[in-house]
Amino acid sequence: MSGFALRLSRALPATAGVRFLASTAVAMKKSTTFRSVLNVEPVHNVPDFSKFDPIYDDITENSSVIELWKKQKASEIGGDATTASNLDALVRSEHNVFETPDDFLIKYPKRPPGKEMQSAVEGEMFWSEELLIPYEQFKKLSKKTLVVKRTVQMTRKGKIPSMYALVVVGNGMGSAGYGEGKSAEASKAVMIATRQAIKHMQNFPRYDNRTIYHDIEHKFKATKLQLWARRPGFGCRVAPMIHEICECIGIQDLAGKIHGSRNPMNVIKAFFEALTTQRIPSDLAKARGLRLLDVNHIYYGGIKPTPLSARK
């Protein structure tokens, strides 16, 4: 809706050939290049850019233009009390500004009508719909608070203490995750950490659903982990922190050793990272273009793992 566009719409009716305005006559005499620049093809059905188009123009965005038109109209008519009320109507009729009807802008409700955000608090666990898992599944998850620390933020006016918690959450069938939370109260920190853990849950590959696929050596910060896959019935003979995580994931047979730093926070993070570095035989087969078969399952009749219910 620029000035140039207005001129263009009045200067070029639906006839062949190019027409020049009287104001550009002088320019025409000055240079012939101007004519070549303005050598546009005739345009048909040019819209009137001074009027609102209901499809292409957004009234909600162009309030400043509408205000401008109202001002112009007011100055044209002159400060009359009777015509002031007609101002809106006049502007609307001239520029095709229409009142947005109620159903023009769709108001998307945040929740379906009649259903509010469901949530439940159970001790130190706070379930809400944002977690994207049903409440029954949430109750069955095994949650372990592994690290609770008292941290302090030093300010010039004194010490501000807060509690830090690291929680590991797992379903015992391969999925687990860890989360960290900080709050003034320990219980709230644990709650925040649990929710973080659920959001970061990941599925870890297990051989026969009981142990890791192969021996792993992994370094995370100053913690060096050595993990060895073991036969069924061996048990998890690993450090206490890793033992808890194995229970959450559902790893039943594992041997491991921590070298270097044994900081619980870092050991937990190192273990989760180490499990993701595993190489699954089917992926290896695809990468190398080989056929891999499990000798254990095919030739030795498959050593079936004892189910969790029969154990302990």
Partner 1 sequence: MVKIHDICSRVQNGFRARLGRIALPETKLNLSVARVLYNQGFVSSVTRGTHLGPDESYTPTTNLNVAERRLWLSLKYYQDQPVLRGMRCVSKPSRKINCNANQLKILASGQPWGIVKGIIPGEIMIVSTTRGILEIQDAVKLGLGGMLLARAN
DSSP letter (8 states) at residue 207: B
Among 286, 297, 304, 311, binds partner 1 (CB under 8 A): 286
Question: Minimum Å distance from CB 210 to partner 1?
Answer: 15
232: contact with partner 1 by CB under 8 A:
no
Closer to partner 1 at the Cβ: 67 or 283?
283
* Shortest Å, Cβ 233 to partner 1: 18
Query: CB of 235: closest distance to partner 1 in angstroms?
Result: 19
Beta bridge pairs of residue 295: none
Given candidates 11, 27, 120, 290, which one binds partner 1 under the rule CB under 8 A? 290
Q: Is residue 7 a contact point for partner 1 (CB under 8 A)?
A: no
Which value, to the nearest 10 degrees, does the dihedral of the CA atoms of residues 274, 206, 240, 198 take?
80
Cα gap 115→266, rounded to integer Å = 42
Element (H, E) at 260: strand 254-260
For residue 297, count other CB atoms closer than 10 A to its CB: 12
Shortest spacing between CB 289 and partner 1, in angstroms: 5
What's the CA gap between 164 and 149, in Å, rounded?
A: 5
Q: Which of 181, 190, 205 is nearest to 143 (CA)?
A: 190
The least CB distance from residue 211 to partner 1, in Å, is 12
**For partner 1, which residue of 58, 80, 130, 215 counts as binding (CB under 8 A)?**
215
Query: How far, in Å, CA of 56 to CA of 68, rounded?
Result: 20
Q: Reduced to 3 states, what is the DSSP secondary structure of residue 268? A: helix
Min separation Cβ 46 and partner 1, Å: 53
With binding defined as CB under 8 A, does residue 303 bind partner 1?
no
User: Is residue 283 a contact point for partner 1 (CB under 8 A)?
Assistant: yes
- Using CB under 8 A, pick the residue from 37, 81, 287, 298 that binds partner 1: 287
Examine residue 297 and tell whether it contacts partner 1 (CB under 8 A): no
Nearest CB to partner 1, comparing residues 160 and 293: 293
| Span of 2-10, 43-51, 94-102, 212-220 interacting with partner 1 by CB under 8 A | 212-220
Q: Distance of alpha carbon 274 from its chain centroid, rounded?
A: 26
- Cα separation of 213 and 226, whole Å? 14
Q: Which is nearer to partner 1, 135 or 213 (CB)?
A: 213
What secondary structure letter does DSSP report for 97? -
Kindly state whether residue 284 participates in binding partner 1, applying the rule CB under 8 A. yes
Angular region, 17: left φ>0, alpha ψ -120 to 50, beta rest: left
Shortest Å, Cβ 117 to partner 1: 39
Helix ranges (DSSP H) in the chain: 3-11, 25-30, 33-37, 63-77, 81-95, 135-140, 186-199, 240-249, 264-276, 281-288, 295-298
Query: Is residue 219 at the binding interface for partner 1, with CB under 8 A as the rule?
Result: no
Nearer to partner 1, 10 or 279 (CB): 279
Of 98-106, 162-170, 246-254, 287-295, the segment contacting partner 1 by CB under 8 A is: 287-295
Chosen residue from 78, 109, 113, 289 binding partner 1 by CB under 8 A: 289
281 near partner 1, judged by CB under 8 A:
yes
> Using CA atoms, how far apart are residues 276 and 175, in angstroms rounded to an integer?
12
Nearest approach in angstroms of CB 217 to partner 1 is 10
Angle formed by the axes of helices 81-95 and 63-77, nearest 10°: 130
| Residues paired with residue 227 on neighbouring β-strands, in sequence order | 216, 256
Q: Which chain residues interact with partner 1 by CB under 8 A?
A: 213-215, 279, 281, 283-284, 286-290, 292
